């Protein structure tokens, strides 16, 4: 619909495991104004359900107007898992050149960092965001935004992400990492 009419509808997402099997289904909720006039910085609520339809994660993002040169309202989102119980937050950190985010636990204590490359447009290649320990000295995982072809990248908002984190990472922080994909 975006490519034909220039208007966006509420986004829907599939979250799959490493075997390509759908494990979650997500639906974005927001208003027409947010989607069409504030698209990249829009507010939203994303409800993530398992295959039985049980909601397991809720992602809330407020409307934030910011730029790299005027960082008063940096991006952030809250992740609840189960819905109603805070699992953590993803908070943008100001940097004039690199996309940087901090993963916080339910008490707003910093847990991990996400650092992206200088160029995040992904023209003809995948974009890698490194998941690092707090001092940024070692990388423990990554979030990848996969190149999905010229037509998809230019004419739609379609995006494919992959998350690689340690198996023993706290399950709440894993839920926050899923939420991070909706922010980066």
Residue 154 has pLDDT above 80, yes or no: no
CB 100 within 8 A of CB 115: yes
**pLDDT tens across 1-29, in order?**
444 444 456 678 899 998 999 999 999 88
**Enclosing domain of residue 70:** 2-183
pLDDT of residue 66: 58
Residue 86's CATH number: 2.40.160
pLDDT at 73: 75
Asked if pLDDT for residue 44 goes beyond 50, the answer is yes
Question: Residue 161's pLDDT is what?
Answer: 86
Q: What is the pLDDT of residues 89-120, one digit of tens each?
A: 999 998 888 999 999 999 999 999 999 987 66
Q: Which residue has the tokens 């899923």?
A: 178
Name the domain count of the chain. 1
Of residues 148 and 173, more confidently modeled:
173
Q: Is 50 or 184 the better-scoring residue by pLDDT?
A: 50
Query: Mind listing the pLDDT tens digit for each residue in 47-89?
Result: 999 999 999 999 999 876 655 566 667 889 999 999 999 999 9
pLDDT at position 12: 86
Quote the CA–CA distance of 2 and 116 in Å, as a whole number. Answer: 27
In this model, does residue 36 exceed pLDDT 60? Answer: no
Of 52, 8, 62, residue with least CA distance to 182: 62
Burial of 112 (0-12, 13-18, 19+ CB in 10 A): buried
Mean pLDDT for 42-47 is: 86
Q: Please state the three-class secondary structure of the chain as a single string.
A: CHHHHCCCCCCEEEEECCCCCEEEEEEEECCHHHHHHCHHHCCEEEEEEECCCCEEEEEEECCCCCECCECCCCCEEEEECCCCCEEEEEEEECCCCCCEEEEEECCCCEEEEEECCCCCCCCCCCEEEEEECCCCCCEEEEEEEECCCHHHHHHCCCCEEEEECCCCCCHHHHHHHHHHHHHC
Q: Are 110 and 126 in contact (CB under 8 A)?
A: no
pLDDT recorded at residue 137: 94
**Lookup: tokens for 94:** 């100001």
**Lowest-pLDDT choice from 30-34, 35-39, 57-61:** 35-39
C-beta of residue 58 within 8 angstroms of C-beta of residue 80: yes
Lowest mean pLDDT among 35-39, 105-109, 157-161: 35-39
């Amino acid at each position: 619909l975006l490519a034909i009419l220039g208007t966006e509808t509420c986004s829907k997402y599939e979250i799959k495991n490493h075997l390509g099997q759908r494990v979650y289904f997500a639906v974005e909720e927001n208003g027409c104004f947010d989607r069409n006039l504030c698209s990249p910085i829009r507010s939203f609520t994303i409800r993530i359900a398992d295959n039985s339809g049980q909601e397991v994660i809720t992602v809330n993002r407020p409307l934030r107007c910011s730029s790299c040169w005027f960082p008063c309202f940096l991006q952030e989102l809250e992740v609840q898992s189960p819905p109603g119980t805070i699992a953590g937050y993803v908070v943008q950190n100001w940097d004039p050149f690199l996309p940087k985010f901090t993963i916080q636990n339910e008490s707003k204590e910093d847990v991990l960092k996400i650092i992206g490359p200088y160029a995040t447009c992904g023209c003809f290649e995948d974009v890698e965001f490194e998941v690092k320990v707090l001092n940024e000295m070692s990388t423990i995982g990554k979030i990848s935004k996969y190149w999905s072809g010229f037509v998809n990248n230019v004419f739609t908002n379609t995006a494919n992400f992959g998350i690689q984190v340690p198996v023993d990472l706290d399950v709440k922080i894993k839920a926050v990492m899923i939420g991070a994909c909706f922010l980066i």
